[in-house]
Amino acid sequence: MKISRENNFDLIRLIAAFQVLIWHGSVHFDLSERLYNILVVIYHFPGVPIFFTISGFLISFSLERNNFNLKQYFKNRSLRIFPALWVCTILTAILLLGFGKIGSVKDFITWFIAQITFFQFYASESLKTWGTGHPNGSLWSIAVELQFYLVLPLILYIINLSKNKLFINLLLLVVFLLSIFIKYFIHNNAFILQNELYVKLLNNTVLIYLHFFLTGIAIYKNFEWLLPYLKDKAIIWLVIYAAYVIIFKFWLKFYDNNYEISIWGILANTILSLLTLSFAFSFTDLSKKLLRENDISYGIYIYHMPIVNTMASLGYRGSIWNLVVLTVLTTILAFISWKLIEQRILKLKM
């Protein structure tokens, strides 16, 4: 199956990254009440589930397009994630040192190793005295993304055992329902909830978020027949999603957010995922015109929290201008990272 390279995925990821930045900036700069009307809208376009859905779609396509070449697959994924992440970690470490917030040497070294490997959610209590309470609280999703990269080949191998489209979709449904059950079990099991370590570890595993990725995989696996209903129909899907949120969230109050383990939350995320993929293939020259093939979304996502922490530590709270400064500084840093690191490294992809 071919997927057109004329798409808006770079732009969608950038919008999702800015959603996360604006949300975090508003919360940590004490702007939630003043920006309520904006936040209540972007609340229903959560950046992380959008990232995960896109990953499920695109990474599945990439893996199958390259005939399950796992060496190439893991090399390409590593080149996309780690170089900028390592630079971000070094910059964060310098800031921690500069503010004298490294805690013990052991804690600092352990944190540093965790950040540059697979445990980005980790931070000892001694490192949580800086800024907002975590050196870079956004990076938990990087650990989840890396776990998804590990399990995706197995998932695709299993569902590809059959060439029957109906059977493939039934398998996807079974895995999807299993992931929902596991998430529900983890969030409601008394033994797990009584152990803070178990809660923290399990809430940072792909098990909790697998259904977001699976939604992207399911759309990819059914893309040929879904495309006519998605291509150039982003406005229609936006209206459908807005109507769903207004009716089932605000009027009937059946659910609160897209992370929720309920039929209404799952349906909300499914419609949002279809909207996301529809926008990717509507107005298909928009991303190239606006971004000129500069993909700074990853940089926006990983660099914004160290800047938030720095500004919060210096007492910059309570003003909307702080959010403007955060946005400008993060965009500049992300662009520099893209030009000097990511764009050059990505040329090494196989």
User: What number is the average pLDDT over the span 152-166?
Assistant: 93
The per-residue pLDDT for range 230-264, each reduced to its tens digit, is: 999 999 999 999 999 999 999 999 999 999 989 99
Q: Please list, in sequence order, all residues whose beta carbon lies within 8 angstroms of the beta carbon of residue 5, skipping any fewer than 6 positions away.
A: none
Could you tell me what percent of the chain has a pLDDT over 70? 99
Residue 9 has pLDDT above 90, yes or no: yes
Cα–Cα distance measured from residue 97 to residue 91, given in angstroms and rounded to the nearest whole number: 10
User: What number is the average pLDDT over the span 71-97?
Assistant: 97
User: What number is the average pLDDT over the span 267-281?
Assistant: 98
Cα–Cα distance measured from residue 270 to residue 5, given in angstroms and rounded to the nearest whole number: 24
Residue 65 has pLDDT above 80, yes or no: yes
Q: What are phi and psi of 166, to 5 degrees?
A: -65, -45
| Contact between 216 and 60 (Cβ < 8 Å) | yes
* Centroid of chain to Cα 18: 11
Q: For residue 240, how many C-alpha atoms fall within 13 Å in the half-sphere facing its CB?
A: 18
Cα–Cα distance measured from residue 104 to residue 112, given in angstroms and rounded to the nearest whole number: 12
User: What number is the average pLDDT over the span 72-86?
Assistant: 97
Domain boundaries, the chain: 9-346
User: What number is the average pLDDT over the span 121-137?
Assistant: 92
The confidence band for 2, taking pLDDT boundaries of 50, 70 and 90, is: confident
User: What number is the average pLDDT over the span 128-151?
Assistant: 96
User: What number is the average pLDDT over the span 26-37?
Assistant: 96
User: What number is the average pLDDT over the span 42-53?
Assistant: 98
Q: What is the mean pLDDT of the chain?
A: 95
Cα–Cα distance measured from residue 186 to residue 84, given in angstroms and rounded to the nearest whole number: 32
Residue 196 has pLDDT above 90, yes or no: no
Instruction: Look at residue 248 in the predicted model and tell me its pLDDT.
Output: 97
Instruction: Look at residue 350 in the predicted model and tell me its pLDDT.
Output: 64
DSSP per residue over 100-151, as a string? T---SHHHHHHHHHHHHTT-TT---GGGTTSTTTSTTGGGHHHHHHHHHHHH
b/e sequence 139-160, b meaning 16+ C-beta within 10 Å: bbbbbbbbbbbeebeebbeebe
Nearest residue to 327 via CA among 346, 347, 307? 307
User: What number is the average pLDDT over the span 22-50?
Assistant: 97
Residue 3 has pLDDT above 90, yes or no: no
Instruction: Look at residue 4 in the predicted model and tell me its pLDDT.
Output: 82
Instruction: Look at residue 12 in the predicted model and tell me its pLDDT.
Output: 98
Cα–Cα distance measured from residue 183 to residue 188, given in angstroms and rounded to the nearest whole number: 9
Cα–Cα distance measured from residue 68 to residue 107, given in angstroms and rounded to the nearest whole number: 39
